Amino acid sequence: MDQPVRKNWSRAQAVLFLGMLAVVYIHSSCGQDEKSAKKELSAEDTAGKQLSEIHCRACHAYPSPDLLDRNSWSNVLFSMEMEMNKEGYQIQPEDWLNIQRYYLNQAPTTLPLSTVPKKLDKVCTDFQKTDALKNVTGAVPIVSLLKYEPTNNTIYAGDIDRKLMVFSGFEQMQTLHLERAPIDVLVRPSDGSLDVLCIGEDLMPTQGRGGEIVHITKDGKQERIIDFLDRPVQFLRQDFNEDGKEEYLVACFGSLVGPINSGKLTMFIPMNGIYKEKIIKEMPGAIKAVTSDFNQDGKPDIVALFAQGREQVSLFLNKGNLEFEEKQLLEFPPVHGSNDFVLADINGDSYPDIILTNGDNGDNSPVFKPYHGVRVFLNNGKNEFSEKFFFPVNGASRVLVRDFDVDNDLDMVVLAMYPNLAAYPQESLLYFENQGKLAFDISYFEPEPSGRWVLMDAGDIDEDGDLDVIVGSNLMMKSVLLPPKINSKWMKSKLAYGFFENIHSHN
């Protein structure tokens, strides 16, 4: 068989070569209208386009050249080459060269602005920032976990220092020290004890398998019940086979670091005091899973987002006896940056819709992308989804879908982990008040973010009958075009958490 493209280039050499190609094509297109240049393909580019549609589609949804600028494609194409080498994907060196030429020639010099009108000039009057959670003892502004539990009005917060802090309302009640950084938590209703999902020894990508689930009793005793997880990021607990015992479903994001890619959506089944693993889908990037009875057969089905390489939302229909049948609901190009979703009936037709954010901008192409934002995919009643709403938000990363204004429809709060702070400092945290028929009144929480917000949750924390919003900061995150005055403010305040009180009923 033909050997893969060359393996002996360093990253610097490969990026330099691709950069030189980019310069050549930028120079050759000078004086041409960029749109016409894309339409008029040379014989070489026509061949490259045909080859790209064959080889790129073999691994993921097809990415058109206009999704990235030329310089970003230089980095991405190098990473694609490394992935092909790692996986042993066979391609003729001349074919790969033609594909690279096609992308570099057809990509724009810079990405255009979004074609969707973007107006962020309205201050949110439904939420007000307070000093609650401002001065938390031992708080570190590198937050790994932030979750509100309504059954006991408790906030759980974790950080890079491997602490798990427990708040009753706003009162700090307990600080637990773990062996690894906590990333998610579940309360056992029967006795109030905790199951804590730990990502591993570090928050950054690693080929290590240091993730684990730790059970913590009410008196603080810790017991590791599941270990050797591939960088887990979210989990849930449910009885999937109706035997009276709950299984753990774990989204292991994994990593592309190392000689073998890791990551999977996996289940752990209780058997004689231990947990046996059953892999639901082995693929890097499992980032979130939720359950819902999609086919109304009384059994919990799974909907999961995979956000690494082959970006997709899949439905896993529960066939009984812990067997699942996958149906792909949505698929996106690998530069889409999908990172969060919610199942909710946002248009009130009794069918669950998918509300999704795409804005991951921490990899090989950290440029502001006009297609980053929040999207609504409506369910036609047959579990077929089509996009009916999009609003551009640079670096959109989290979405909450709740009835925040208590008017019996669903609103949204969107958090941007990678906002364009130079142009839109207010887009870090946005409120979408539902006006009906997928129209939203959009306003911002802060004129510029008081923290590097990366996590959020909602609940009636002050117990006044409406839903408040809590956020967590991570100063370890980096981004382009970070204004020095904002960065200086963050470094001075070292704010780890923020609380926005819902004051809609006060207005």
Quote the CA–CA distance of 466 and 457 in Å, as a whole number. Answer: 14
Average of per-residue pLDDT across 33-37: 41
pLDDT computed for residue 39 by the predictor: 53
- Own/partner pairs, 26-31, CB within 8 angstroms, 24+ separation: 26/70, 26/109, 28/105, 29/105
**469-496 core/surface letters (b: 16 or more CB in 10 A; e: else):** bbbbbbbebebeebeeebeeebeeeebb
Average of per-residue pLDDT across 204-227: 93
Strand arrangement of the beta sheet that strand 154-159 belongs to: 143-149, 154-159, 163-168, 171-177
The answer to whether 22 and 77 are in contact (CB under 8 A) is no
What would the two tokens of residue 126 be? 């439904």
Q: Which DSSP category does 114 fall into?
A: P
Quote the CA–CA distance of 254 and 279 in Å, as a whole number. Answer: 14
Quote the CA–CA distance of 303 and 342 in Å, as a whole number. Answer: 10
Average of per-residue pLDDT across 45-70: 92
pLDDT computed for residue 490 by the predictor: 96
Residue 3 has pLDDT above 60, yes or no: no
Residue 353 has pLDDT above 70, yes or no: yes
pLDDT, one tens digit per residue, over 289-336 is: 999 999 999 999 999 999 988 999 999 999 999 999 999 999 999 999
Residue 28 has pLDDT above 50, yes or no: no
Residue 277 has φ and ψ, to the nearest 5°, of: -85, 140
Average of per-residue pLDDT across 179-191: 96
Residue 103 has pLDDT above 90, yes or no: yes
Residue 196 has φ and ψ, to the nearest 5°, of: -115, 125
Residue 142: name the closest of 410, 452, 427, 376 by CA: 452
Q: What is the SS3 assignment for 28?
A: helix
pLDDT computed for residue 220 by the predictor: 92
Q: Give 326's strand partners.
A: 316
Residue 22 has pLDDT above 50, yes or no: no
Strand arrangement of the beta sheet that strand 232-238 belongs to: 232-238, 247-252, 264-271, 274-282
Residue 49: name the closest of 59, 63, 29, 28 by CA: 63
pLDDT computed for residue 502 by the predictor: 98
Quote the CA–CA distance of 196 and 191 in Å, as a whole number. Answer: 15
pLDDT, one tens digit per residue, over 230-264 is: 999 999 999 999 999 999 999 999 998 888 889 99
Residue 113 has pLDDT above 90, yes or no: no
Residue 12 has pLDDT above 60, yes or no: no
> Is the Cα torsion angle 33, 34, 39, 40 positive or negative in sign?
positive
Residue 465 has pLDDT above 80, yes or no: yes
Quote the CA–CA distance of 125 and 131 in Å, as a whole number. Answer: 17
Count the residues in the chain: 507
31-35, 202-206, 476-480: least confidently modelled range: 31-35
Query: Distance of CA 118 to CAs 149, 158, 424, 483, Å?
Result: 35, 35, 10, 21
150-154, 162-166, 203-207: least confidently modelled range: 203-207
pLDDT computed for residue 31 by the predictor: 39
Quote the CA–CA distance of 7 and 93 in Å, as a whole number. Answer: 11
pLDDT, one tens digit per residue, over 397-449 is: 999 999 999 999 999 999 999 999 999 999 999 999 999 999 999 999 999 99
pLDDT computed for residue 34 by the predictor: 44
Average of per-residue pLDDT across 454-459: 98
Residue 165 has pLDDT above 60, yes or no: yes
Residue 108 has pLDDT above 50, yes or no: yes
Confidence label for 506 from pLDDT (cuts 50, 70 and 90)? confident
| 49 torsion bin: left (phi>0), alpha (psi -120 to 50), beta (else) | alpha
Residue 237: name the closest of 215, 255, 222, 220 by CA: 215
Q: What is the SS3 assignment for 414?
A: strand
pLDDT computed for residue 10 by the predictor: 41
